[in-house]
Amino acid sequence: MYIDQLPDLSRARLVRARSRGVAIRDGGRAVAVAFVADGALLPADTLVRFEVTEGEDAARRLADALAATGARSLWFYGGDETARRAASELDLQLRPVGAAFVHRMDASRSERVTFRPPSQRDRETLPELTADHAPAFKAPQAEIAEIGPDAVGLTLTEPLDQRWTELRIVVYAPHRGRGFGSAMFAAAADRMEATGRRVCAAIESVEGRERAALETAGFRIADYYFTATKR
């Protein structure tokens, strides 16, 4: 758990689930465990999780982990204070590579969005859209977003724990560039929060259309994902 008691989001969970653990030892004693990416979502020379035995110097053990595994970088969520402090003390170069957002407020919307279950025709393209836009979701709930008479996009949601739900949206190509992404994010988040859920989302970049859509829809950055690389 990090800021806002936010759990790992779906992509972070998948990255770590696919990693392999390497015990870091000192004189036969395990002092840390480093988890190395499998190369599918992040480069294979990347540590994606780093755990240190209580009382150990995290920076020293991170240096040991990089040496033992041959990794060149550490990928971590900014709220992971142990990883951030160790990377800083080793003078690794930090670069933001994505971000987690949480919904903070209702947003004013000029477009009224309604949602319906996917039709049989919609279901023909659902597997492809889900694989492209939410590959880390295990069993997403899909709904079609309509604005006026048109089906303009798709929402994909998945509970992360008893409190948080992650939200992804897809705006269909003919309807992009008209602000519908923000309207869909806002309407879907408001509706879920009305049931007592908290809503989060993630992007795999730092800037761009997705970030603008989320911020316009009333989301704020909880923290960035970083890579910390040897200079």
- DSSP labels, 28-51: TEEEEEEEE--SSSS-TTEEEEEE
Tell me what the mean pLDDT of segment 23-52 comes to. 94
On average, the pLDDT of the chain sits at 92
Tell me what the mean pLDDT of segment 196-223 comes to. 92
pLDDT of 109: 65
Q: Is residue 230 part of a domain?
A: no
Q: Provide the CB-side half-sphere exposure for 224 (13 A, CA).
A: 13
For residue 22, the enclosing domain spans 3-98
Number of structural domains, the chain?
2
pLDDT digits (tens, 9 = 90+) for 140-183: 999 999 999 999 999 999 999 999 999 999 999 999 998 899 99
- 173 DSSP assignment: G
Tell me what the mean pLDDT of segment 39-63 comes to. 94
Tell me what the mean pLDDT of segment 90-110 comes to. 87
Q: Provide the CB-side half-sphere exposure for 133 (13 A, CA).
A: 22
Between helix 209-216 and helix 180-193 the angle, nearest 10°, is 50
Do 117 and 151 lie in a common domain?
yes
Q: Is residue 229 part of a domain?
A: no
pLDDT of 1: 45
Could you tell me the CATH number of the domain that includes residue 164? 3.40.630.30
pLDDT of 111: 79
Do 88 and 8 lie in a common domain?
yes
Please say if the pLDDT value at position 220 is more than 90: yes
pLDDT digits (tens, 9 = 90+) for 1-23: 445 678 999 999 999 999 999 99
Label residue 225 by pLDDT band (50, 70, 90): very high
pLDDT of 4: 60
The pairing of strands 198-203 and 46-52 is unpaired
